[in-house]
Chains A and B, each alone.
Chain A
Amino acid sequence: MRTRFDEQLNTLHQELIRMGALCEEVISLAASALIQKDDALAAKIAPLDHEIDEKERQIESVCLRLLLQQQPVAGDLRQISAALKMITDLERIGDQAEDIAEILPFLNGRTLPEHIQIREMAKEASQMVTDSVDAYVKQDTAIAEAVIAADDIVDDYFIAIKNSLISLIAQNPNEGEYALDLLMAAKYFERIGDHATNIAEWVQFSVTGEKNTPQEVN
């Protein structure tokens, strides 16, 4: 009975890694599409996002089945409940990457100082997702902590971009639409950073059983 349970837990772990890898892929595609100004890359995101949604449903049903049939306790319960929460965050990352992909055609082809900032921001957010999945794979709380700390960097980028866009609109009101699109993209990256932070926190919970006081997700 226990061996079967362990096997199911392992499968859950691997499926979650696969889902994490898919999220890494979409966010890095979104970042590369932005950095290389390549709309073809952005077009690859949507099908991957569907795959992520599919994985979410699949993992969700695995988790619920495990909860019902095995009635896990202690560490096992933590692992399963953390997985249930993490897939929501991962799925949101996928959605937001897709949203970014939709905006990209309007942004690419322009070169403005804000563009450089958002590229840095995209790189950072992508790295956060990679690290948070890494933390899960290795069950490493140190990496999780680093991810949580990195969220501030992404937040700072968002504020910097927002400020420079404000002055851009003030100087050149015709650029309003562009500025808003850029702000939206920046916002999505910022949200992705928050989701990565959530994942890192769930990793900490799953490993230690303690959850940090919930940080205000703005």
Chain B
Amino acid sequence: MTKRIFRSICFVAIAVFLASVALFLCVLYNYFGNVQRNQLKTQTELAAQGVENAGADYFEGLDTKGYRITWIDADGEVLFDSDAATAEMENHLEREEIKEAVEDGYGESARYSATLMERTLYSAMRLEDGTVVRLSIAQNTMLTLLLGMSQPILIIAAIAIALSFFLAYRLSRHITEPLNRLNLDDPLNNEGYDELSPLLRRIDAQQRQIRLQSEELQQKQEEFEAVTENMTEGIVVLNSKGIILSINPAAVRLFDTTKACIGQHMLSVNRCMEISDLLSAMEKGVRAEKSITLQGRTYQLDISPVSEDGSVTGAVLLVLDVTEKAQAEQMRQEFTANVSHELKTPLQIIAGSAELLSNGIVKEEDRKSFYNRIQAESQRMIRLVEDIIRLSHLDEGADDMKRENVDLFALANEIVKSLQTEAENVQITMHLEGTPAIIYGIPQLLQSLIFNLCDNAIKYNRAGGTVAVQVKAEKDRVILSVADTGIGISPEHQNRIFERFYRVDKSRSKELGGTGLGLSIVKHAARLHEAEIALNSAENEGTTITVTFPVPK
């Protein structure tokens, strides 16, 4: 802009200068021309006077002072010429000034020489005798005038141009300075040209809008990050080529990588076949799902392509930890298989015995034992079904069971008493010690918890052994422990005995009428009361199971 203003000013200044020089020259030329013509007229009159008085003698020794003087008779013959030989000169009667002078007494004319460099002014005067005296003088043309004045003109031009350059420079600087000084960060707070204020207001409005929008954008970004950062599920955003655009900390952890993987290809992070397949699905724009195992855990991968106008622009890869789900699924399958198996065995015995009885193969004296067998197996099945019902109830969370204050000691006392006969049958002594201990819980569950523990303690004991049940109330907890002097549990079985249908010694357990679900029920019941189970057992020495119930103050 400064340059443009500078150029414009310079151009105008030079143009004005040249125009004024031209005008000045014209005026000057005219003025000089007039002066010269007047002088010529006066000189002609003087010369005419002289010739009138002196005749041809006038020309003797005449100093022409730069004038050319010609005397022509009435016929146009040149009688005298100060510059040339008279004889060679043509008839002058046809010359404009002569013609005029012959007719009016005085005539004037101006003619250019062949070279145009010179203009000659002519002035003629008729005398009394009809002859004509003509004076002529060379007049400078405009060009010669210009050439003659070129030096001063050039000097003036140089000064003028230099001056205009300088002024134009200063001026253009001065004009643009307020523009350069504009503070666009605060557009409304500027002094300068009023013409700029609509522009500045517009800039201000747009700046505010941009600020608002970027704040909004940032807030959304932060919201998105806050949501994804704290998710346990991994989220990876990919572009259409499979390059990672963003990855949340959970996904970083799952894929065992760093945030630096942003910008890399997904396959660089994990190149297993499943991910490769998912990426191929994404390229086709299809939603896909795979499950993979990473660091010993099972993850479900979901890829959802993002499409725009029919072409895939990217995808979101969701990583869900389904280890528990997969384990639960496996457990359910195992449980179903176990249950069917456990139910099938007594049923087969019942069916077989019944078949033998109905066919009449069984001798009269053996019938009693077959009936007993059928009864015993039916009892076992009933117990099994009851246990399964109880367990599934516990699985559902036992929400419908009422909690109330229960004295654990009284409950244990009842159970010990009820089991006394059974214990005595296998020569086992039971004793209970402790103090009343109130906890807030579900009586039915606590009952089956203590019952199962005591029942196991009797079943897996040896003749002459003891079962010691202890209930202890402490400041913020109640401890129930059941210790036996039985066969014990070897270490490799210890962490599995709470699993459903897990039995250390299958044949023995069945013989004793166990369902394989007792400790499972104990575990669930304890969990519902937020109690902790501790197992302390040594093979052939005995087992102590301690259940610690927290008592909130």
Which A residues form the contact surface with B (CB < 8 A)?
10, 13-14, 17-18, 20-22, 24-25, 133, 137-138
Q: Is B234 an interface residue (CB 8 A)?
A: no
Contacts of B268 in A (CB 8 A): 17, 137-138
Number of chain B interface residues as a range:
under 10
Contacts of A18 in B (CB 8 A): 267, 271, 276
Contacts of B267 in A (CB 8 A): 14, 17-18, 21, 137
- Nearest to B243 among chain A residues (CB) is A10
Q: Is B1 an interface residue (CB 8 A)?
A: no
Contacts of A21 in B (CB 8 A): 267, 271-273, 276
A54 to chain B, nearest CB (A): 14
- Nearest to A138 among chain B residues (CB) is B268
Q: Pick the 7 closest A-B CB pairs, nearest first.
A: A21-B271, A17-B267, A17-B271, A137-B268, A14-B265, A25-B273, A18-B276
- Nearest to B242 among chain A residues (CB) is A14
Q: List 27 A-B contacts (CB under 8 A).
A: A10-B241, A10-B265, A13-B265, A14-B242, A14-B265, A14-B267, A17-B265, A17-B267, A17-B268, A17-B271, A18-B267, A18-B271, A18-B276, A20-B271, A21-B267, A21-B271, A21-B272, A21-B273, A21-B276, A22-B273, A24-B271, A25-B273, A133-B271, A137-B267, A137-B268, A137-B271, A138-B268
Among B241, B242, B267, B276: residue with most chain A CB under 10 A:
B267
C-alpha spacing A138/B257, complex, angstroms: 11
- Nearest to B268 among chain A residues (CB) is A137
Contacts of B272 in A (CB 8 A): 21
A26 to chain B, nearest CB (A): 10
Which B residues form the contact surface with A (CB < 8 A)?
241-242, 265, 267-268, 271-273, 276
Q: Is the interface of B mostly helix, strand, loop or mixed?
A: mixed
C-alpha spacing A21/B242, complex, angstroms: 16
A31 to chain B, nearest CB (A): 16
C-alpha spacing A131/B276, complex, angstroms: 18
- Nearest to A11 among chain B residues (CB) is B241
Among B242, B265, B271, B276: residue with most chain A CB under 10 A:
B271
- Nearest to B275 among chain A residues (CB) is A21
Contacts of B276 in A (CB 8 A): 18, 21
A137 to chain B, nearest CB (A): 5
Contacts of A20 in B (CB 8 A): 271
- Nearest to A139 among chain B residues (CB) is B268
- Nearest to A134 among chain B residues (CB) is B271
A16 to chain B, nearest CB (A): 10
C-alpha spacing A17/B268, complex, angstroms: 7
Contacts of B265 in A (CB 8 A): 10, 13-14, 17
Contacts of A17 in B (CB 8 A): 265, 267-268, 271
C-alpha spacing A17/B279, complex, angstroms: 13
Contacts of A25 in B (CB 8 A): 273
B260 to chain A, nearest CB (A): 11
Contacts of A133 in B (CB 8 A): 271
A18 to chain B, nearest CB (A): 6
Contacts of B273 in A (CB 8 A): 21-22, 25
B162 to chain A, nearest CB (A): 52
